[in-house]
Amino acid sequence: MIRIDNLTKSYGPFTAVKGLSFSVAPGEVLGFLGPNGAGKSTTMKMITGYLAPSSGRITVFDHDVAEAPVQTKQLIGYLPEGAPSYEAMTVQQFLRFVGRVRGLRGTALEQRLSQVAAQLQLDAVLPQTIETLSKGFKRRVGLAQAILHDPRVLILDEPTDGLDPNQKQEVRNLIASLSRDKIVIVSTHILEEVAAVCSRAIIIAGGRMLADDTPQQLAARSRYHGAVSMILPGATNAESELVKLPQVASVEVDQERLVVFPKAGESLFAPVNELIQRHQWQVEALHVERGRLDEVFRDITREVA
Ligand SMILES: Nc1ncnc2c1ncn2[C@@H]1O[C@H](COP(=O)(O)OP(=O)(O)OP(=O)(O)O)[C@@H](O)[C@H]1O
Ligand SMILES: [Mg+2]
């Protein structure tokens, strides 16, 4: 378990993190969401022991981060914001260096290096100096050093930032495959990523926690939850017929798409389908929305911003 109790961080007169409390258990992938400047990176820096809190307490598997900094750091793999590393080293030198710092030696080190290089598709760049790598490859080197000692806790600050779409997917798969017995905390601005990889999401803004829920439950707070979105070319009477349904609260036109919103507690799929059959409308697309995380995120963080 990671337990965070009333965590606060001030930079001079400015308080970036204000009394955060939460726990994370093995097997959970916790997404850290929040607008720029919310306090995500600051919180991660405190969990990893890189920054001392102004007040509050953090324990990692019962070790206090302030009192047992070495033990807690051994348990954690950390990708800091921007994936910093030693630019003049080659990828191979850097990963070997990190492996040795992590206590790996000999064949155990070499085996782990080749495993991780394969996992992050780094083989081709192992002899290259880090300063000559593209942004996405630098991020992958940062991820490689974070997972090298197979830690029980992974703290990843925007792990997919700057990656191409294929690599984003690879890293999401990697996180999913690593998460079974680990605690993973990832920050991201990509809301689809939260739905794809996180079992839980915490939204913070202005240093305070505003929501702590599953991505599904967060999405269900959206006014789009349960709405039917469809494209009905040529059905000129569709809007006026749909609003007459007793289950329908409203209909909005979004370019060529009609979005039909249910009244509270009503399900629209059956009555809308029945109406389509009755009028023989030609349906080009139809789906029931789960809810839009981006809209929920905006609503939750708007007041603080
Ligand atoms: N060393 C520092 N000195 C003063 N203020 C700082 C320092 N580091 C961070 N801050 C401020 O603390 C606040 C939180 O910053 P933090 O980096 O934690 O935000 P974030 O949620 O990670 O944002 P982003 O999404 O942009 O990465 C910001 O207002 C930032 O300017
Ligand atoms: Mg940050």
Place of tokens 């603080």: 304
Q: Where in the chain is the domain with CATH 3.30.70.100?
A: 228-289
Token pair of 10, please?
């001030």
Q: Whose CA is nearest to atom 31 of ligand 1?
A: 37
pLDDT of residue 305: 60
User: Ligand 1 test: best mutation among 11, 20, 188, most atoms within 8 Å of CB?
Assistant: 11
Q: Dump pLDDT digits (tens) for 45-90.
A: 999 999 999 999 999 999 999 999 999 999 999 999 988 999 999 9
Residues lower than pLDDT 50 in the chain: none
Of the options 3.30.70.100, 3.40.1190.20, 3.55.50.30, 1.10.3720.10, the CATH number for the domain spanning 228-289: 3.30.70.100
Helices (H), the chain: 40-47, 69-75, 91-101, 106-119, 135-147, 165-178, 191-197, 215-220, 238-242, 269-279, 293-302
Q: Dump pLDDT digits (tens) for 213-252.
A: 999 999 999 999 999 999 998 888 999 999 999 999 999 9
- Which residue type sits at 243? V
The ligand 1 atom at the shortest distance from the C-alpha of residue 35 is 25
Spacing, Cα 157 to ligand 2 middle (Å)? 7
Spacing, Cα 299 to ligand 1 middle (Å)? 22
Residues having C-beta closer than 5 Å to ion ligand 2: 40-41, 81
pLDDT of residue 142: 95
Spacing, Cα 201 to ligand 2 middle (Å)? 16
- Whether the CB-CB separation of 64 and 10 falls below 8 Å is answered with no
User: Which class is 2-220 in CATH?
Assistant: alpha beta
Prediction pTM value: 0.92
Q: Where in the chain is the domain with CATH 3.40.50.300?
A: 2-220
